[in-house]
Amino acid sequence: MNASLSFRGASVTAVIVVLLTGVLAVGSLLPASSPVQVSPFIMTLAGKYLAYAMLALAVDLVWGFAGILTLGHAAFFALGGYAMGMYLVREIGARGVYGNADLPDFMVFLSWKSLPWYWWGSDHFPVALLLMLVVPAGLAGLFGWLAFRSRVSGVYLSIITQALTYALMLAFFQNGFGFGGNNGLTDFKDILGFDLHSPYTRAGMLFISGLILAGALLAARYVVGGRFGSLLIAVRDAESRTRFLGYRPEQVKLLVWVFSAVIAAIGGALYVIQVGIINPGEFAPANSIEAVIWVAVGGRGTLSGAVIGAILVNLGKTLFTAWLPEMWLYGLGALFMATTLFLPQGLMGLMRHLPEKRPSEVTPEVTNPEGGEA
């Protein structure tokens, strides 16, 4: 990187996100005859983009600041989605197709007699929130402890993260696994007693999603803006020297890895509430690879760039797949190559022409890479 990129704009981006979601939420409540009324379709798309922005933010934390190229963060996103989906399915109760108040429809169809133990308590919202946070964090902690303790890094780490999400995808495809198999979980009706199809609920959820994304962005900015952030960048750019100075790089990586997994899981939960479905396809390695592209397009190591990249690329995907659906993957590949060749610092890299910020407001840059002469 030829110039340090400021990420002071994270707070500005957070404010813009809240304002835009507020405008969309209000617009969705206007009469259908109003020329500025926001349709339910647009609301669903906006909610999906915000959820994907959470995933991109999580990837940027580990890739942009810790140098860990993850190709498996979709696993944490999907686990958070399934945790919320379990609660939403249990909320259906006797209103399901088979009228069984104790078992979800897919379990009745598969002749299950009782809920598996890992579904216990999932009909309570606090339990669902706990599952949403603890399960992805626990898996990330175990995986990270094994990988970083063994000093697995580079392309090898990327491959095993991809293997992790692929293995989970295959497991969740199995009907006997207890999560709806290929169809996943869907047909949600309400959350905490509020009708999910009500325009007021949709408006409220979109605004809440905006607040949560803004909060996650500010939390990430707080983490990387202090001493821990400097340590992260030191581990990214000169891990051996950092270890020589008495630090434990594997512990630093583990902390940010788990933190990013929790952010991705929250994004998955928000996705399920607003899109209305979660299935094993969300574990697909291609989703994790797309998230890396979002971050690259927006600007790696900038936080705001990850959010902007996720929203813009997915907006482009929506438009492109409507016009030329069979060409989307070629377009995405061309976008990634163009970014690599002409915008290696992403869209946020265009800020390099602006006046320099104070040292405390920029991502530190290694001027003497490891192995170079002092």
**pTM as predicted:** 0.91
What is the average per-residue pLDDT within 322-342? 84
Sole residue written with tokens 């933190």? 259
Question: What was the pLDDT predicted at 41?
Answer: 94
Structural domain contains residue 131: yes
Does the structure show a pLDDT above 80 at 323? yes
Residue 167 within any structural domain of the chain: yes
Given a contact cutoff of 8 angstroms between Cβ atoms, the answer to whether 258 and 143 are in contact is: no
pLDDT above 50: residue 374: no
- The pLDDT, as a whole number, for residue 366 is 43
Separation of alpha carbons 202 and 208, rounded Å: 10
Residue 369 lies in a domain: no
Closest by CA to 307, choosing from 226, 232, 220, is 220
Q: Tens digit of pLDDT for each residue in 258-282? A: 999 999 999 999 999 999 999 999 9
Query: In this structure, are residues 196 and 25 in contact, taking their beta carbons and an 8 Å threshold?
Result: no
What is the band of 361 on the pLDDT scale with cuts at 50, 70, 90?
Answer: very low
What pLDDT score was predicted for residue 362?
45
Q: What is the mean pLDDT of residues 279-308?
A: 94
Average pLDDT over residues 15-31: 96
For 142-147, which contacts have Cβ atoms below 8 Å and span 24 or more sequence positions? Answer: 144/253, 144/254, 144/257, 144/258, 145/254
**In angstroms, rounded to a whole number, what is the distance separating the alpha carbons of residues 206 and 318?**
19
CA distance 350 to 311: 18
What are the residues facing 246 on neighbouring strands? none
pLDDT for 254 beyond 80: yes
Mean pLDDT of 103-129: 93
Q: Residue 106 corresponds to which amino acid? A: F
| Backbone torsion region of residue 73, taken as left when φ is above 0, otherwise alpha when ψ lies between -120 and 50, otherwise beta | alpha
The total of structural domains in the chain comes to: 1
Name the band, by pLDDT with cuts 50, 70 and 90, for residue 6: very low
Question: What mean pLDDT is predicted for residues 69-88?
Answer: 97
Cα–Cα dist 79/259, whole Å: 15
Separation CA 80–CA 11 (nearest Å): 26
DSSP-assigned beta bridge partners for residue 190: 195
Percentage of the residues of the chain whose pLDDT score is greater than 70: 92
**What pLDDT is stored for residue 320 in this prediction?**
85
Task: With cut-offs at 50, 70 and 90, classify the pLDDT of residue 340.
Answer: confident
**Which backbone phi and psi does 195 adopt, to 5 degrees?**
-65, 120
Task: Give the pLDDT band (50/70/90) at residue 353.
Answer: low
Q: Can you tell me the mean pLDDT for 39-47?
A: 95
- Residue 186 φ/ψ, nearest 5 degrees: -160, -165
- pLDDT, mean of residues 168-175: 95
User: For residue 56, what are its two tokens?
Assistant: 């991109």
- Is the pLDDT at 48 greater than 80, yes or no? yes
Is 67 part of a structural domain of the chain?
Answer: yes
- What is the average pLDDT score of the chain? 89
The angle formed by the CA atoms of residues 344, 307 and 299, to the nearest 5 degrees, is 10
Q: Average the pLDDT over 339-366 and give the result.
A: 66
State whether the Cα torsion 336-337-338-339 is positive or negative: positive
The residue ranking higher by pLDDT, 311 or 363, is: 311
The burial of 78, by beta-carbon neighbours within 10 Å (0-12 exposed, 13-18 middle, 19 or more buried), is given as buried
Please give the Cα distance from 335 to 221 (Å, whole number).
Answer: 27
Residue 324 within any structural domain of the chain? no
Q: Domain range holding 192?
A: 16-30+38-284
pLDDT band (50, 70, 90) for residue 8: low
- 311 found inside a domain: no
**Beta-carbon-side half-sphere exposure of residue 312 (alpha carbons within 13 Å):** 17
- 8 A C-beta contact, residue 272 and residue 84: yes
Q: Can you give the pLDDT at residue 2? A: 35
pLDDT in tens, 183-232: 999 999 999 999 999 999 999 999 999 999 999 999 999 999 889 999 99
* pLDDT the model gives residue 174: 94
Least confident of 6-10, 177-181, 271-275: 6-10
pLDDT for the residue numbered 306 = 95
The answer to whether residue 350 is domain-embedded is no
Per DSSP, what are the bridge partners of residue 195?
190
pLDDT at residue 17, as a whole number:
96
Tokens of 284: 């697909």
Q: Is a pLDDT exceeding 50 seen at residue 152?
A: yes
DSSP character at residue 170: H
Alpha carbon 315 to chain centroid distance?
16
